[in-house]
């Protein structure tokens, strides 16, 4: 019987693709732009291009069509995407499985903005897993946070999962946390500020800011559009993004535009926060993480969210609550 020939060098290369090259490939596949992908990976563009060329040589396939105007995936590139994701997810699971709790890397948790209820969940998770390092981040908007999750720069976030693109949702895990009552922030001398609660009908004819123009909060602007439809309430045009209390106060004093918020929104100077009623609009909030992420901190977060949701009745919908039908189905299917 003739001896079996040794594997070729090409076959050996294909059997040992460096995960770093797959990570580079996915960054370009998601951004379809080498400069942005390099910035996301914190590497030089020349190094990223070199890694992509090396991967193409090892797989003996062209993965991208590059022109001076755009970058697009080839058929082989499209075919590689799900395989690359599974390899990197499996690698992360393997590393997490063999890391002791004390050795686990810090878990990066987006709590959106200071003062919101998500900080309570994070605080309880820290109590449940005192040996872990759970670090807060403030991304302000689940659409923006989801991009960070998929890029591996963030591990968990909170927000309206149903408002994300279905292709993005397919790569994320989620656990319903709360039906959060919505509110409106008003200048303290606004005619509606004298009310203890503002009926939605009282906002007819008003223009309300709901994050329009902010690419990080698309899910929130979409929720506002659904809520305002047919009620005579307009969504305000994009405004400069206010970062910090002073900037928020300055922009609000200048525009005098009511702002759609939630009942736990932090109190701001020279404004009042009033709950919305008749009906009570609800913002459906989920804990969201990258699908396949294995980390003891995620387990602690999920336990903390379950405990607080049960203790506070966060997942009990009020009888006069309003929520989009698609959101209700997604929340109930996971609850």
pLDDT in tens, 120-168: 999 999 999 999 999 999 877 999 999 999 988 899 999 999 999 998 9
Counting residues of the chain whose pLDDT is more than 90, the rounded percentage is 61
- Asked whether residue 148 falls in the same domain as residue 265, the answer is no
Mean pLDDT of 270-296: 93
Would residue 330 count as lying in a domain?
Answer: no
In a domain, 335, yes or no: no
**Which domain-ending residue is among 36, 70, 97?**
97
Please check whether residues 127 and 174 belong to one and the same domain.
yes
Would you say residue 5 has pLDDT above 80? no
- Does one domain contain both 175 and 186? no
Residue 332 inside a domain? The answer is no
**288 and 173 belong to one structural domain:** yes
Residue 2: pLDDT above 70? Answer: no
Q: Residue 79: count other Cβ atoms within 10 Å of its Cβ.
A: 12
- pLDDT tier at 323 (50, 70, 90 boundaries)? very high
| Tokens linked to 301 | 């977060």
Residues 132 and 173 in one domain: yes
Question: The domain containing residue 208 runs over which residues?
Answer: 180-281
Mark whether 14 and 142 lie in a shared domain: no
pLDDT mean across residues, the chain? 87
Per DSSP (E only), the strands in the chain are: 64-66, 71-73, 107-110, 134-137, 156-159, 172-187, 198-199, 207-208, 234-235, 259-262, 271-277, 280-290, 321-322
pLDDT tens digits, 91-115: 777 766 655 444 568 999 999 887 7
Verify that 56 and 70 share a domain, yes or no: yes
Tally the domains of the chain.
Answer: 3
With beta carbons less than 8 A apart as the criterion, state whether 164 and 172 touch.
yes
- The predicted model gives 222-244 an average pLDDT of 87
Q: Write down which residue in 72, 97, 122 finishes a domain.
A: 97
Closest CA relative to residue 107, chosen from 125, 89, 86 = 125
What angle is formed at CA 183 by the lines to CA 200 and CA 231, rounded to 5 degrees? Answer: 25
> Of 97, 129, 161, which marks where a domain is finished?
97
Measure the CA–CA gap between 288 and 174, rounded to whole angstroms: 4
| Mean pLDDT (whole number) for 173-183 | 95
pLDDT of residue 182: 98
How much is the pLDDT for 266? 82
Same domain membership, residue 155 and residue 229: no
Q: Which CATH number is 255's domain given?
A: 3.40.190.10
Range 95-107 burial, b when 16+ CB lie within 10 A, else e: ebeeeeeeebeeb
**Residue 208 banded pLDDT, cuts 50, 70, 90:** very high
Q: Are 136 and 185 members of one domain? A: no
Looking at the structure, do residues 272 and 290 belong to the same domain, yes or no? no
Is residue 113 located within the same domain as residue 186? no
SS3 184: strand
User: Residue 6's pLDDT is what?
Assistant: 47
Record the pTM. Answer: 0.70
293: pLDDT strictly greater than 60: yes
Quick check: is 67 in a domain?
yes
- Assess whether pLDDT exceeds 80 at residue 7: no
Q: Is 170 exposed, middle or buried (0-12, 13-18, 19+ CB in 10 A)?
A: exposed
Residue-level pLDDT at 248: 66
Report the pLDDT averaged over residues 46-75. 92
Residue 329 inside a domain? The answer is no
Verify that 202 and 56 share a domain, yes or no. no
Q: Is residue 82 in a domain?
A: yes
Q: What CATH number is associated with residue 79?
A: 1.10.10.10
- Residue 38 included in any domain: yes
More confident residue, 5 or 201: 201
| 12, pLDDT greater than 50 | no
Domain-located, residue 1? no
């Amino acid at each position: 019987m003739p001896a079996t020939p040794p594997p070729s060098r090409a076959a050996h290369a294909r059997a040992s693709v460096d995960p770093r090259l797959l990570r580079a490939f996915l960054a370009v596949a998601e951004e379809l732009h080498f400069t942005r992908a390099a910035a996301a990976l914190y590497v030089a563009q020349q190094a990223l291009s070199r890694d992509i060329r090396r991967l193409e040589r090892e797989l003996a396939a062209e993965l991208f069509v590059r022109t001076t105007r755009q970058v697009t995936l080839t058929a082989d590139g499209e075919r590689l995407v799900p395989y690359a994701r599974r390899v990197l997810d499996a690698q992360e699971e393997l590393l997490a499985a063999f890391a002791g709790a004390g050795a686990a890397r810090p878990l990066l948790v987006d709590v959106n903005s200071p003062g919101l209820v998500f900080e309570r969940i994070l605080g309880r998770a820290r109590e449940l897993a005192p040996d872990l390092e759970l670090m807060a981040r403030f991304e302000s908007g689940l659409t923006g946070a989801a991009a960070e999750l998929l890029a591996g720069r963030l591990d968990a976030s909170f927000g309206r999962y149903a408002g994300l693109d279905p292709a993005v949702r397919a790569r994320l895990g989620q656990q319903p946390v709360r039906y959060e009552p919505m509110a409106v922030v008003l200048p303290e001398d606004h005619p509606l500020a004298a009310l203890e609660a503002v009926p939605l009908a009282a906002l007819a004819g008003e223009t309300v800011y709901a994050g329009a123009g902010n690419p990080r909060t698309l899910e929130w602007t979409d929720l506002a559009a659904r809520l305002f439809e047919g009620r005579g309430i307009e969504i305000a045009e994009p405004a400069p993004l206010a970062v910090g209390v002073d900037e928020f106060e300055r922009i609000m004093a200048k525009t005098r535009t009511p702002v759609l918020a939630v009942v736990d929104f932090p109190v701001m100077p020279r404004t009042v926060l009033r709950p919305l009623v008749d009906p009570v609009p609800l913002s459906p909030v989920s804990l969201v993480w990258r699908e396949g992420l294995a980390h003891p901190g995620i387990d602690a977060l999920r336990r903390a969210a379950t405990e607080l949701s049960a203790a506070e009745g966060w997942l009990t919908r009020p009888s006069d609550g309003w929520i989009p039908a698609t959101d209700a189905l997604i929340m109930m299917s996971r609850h």
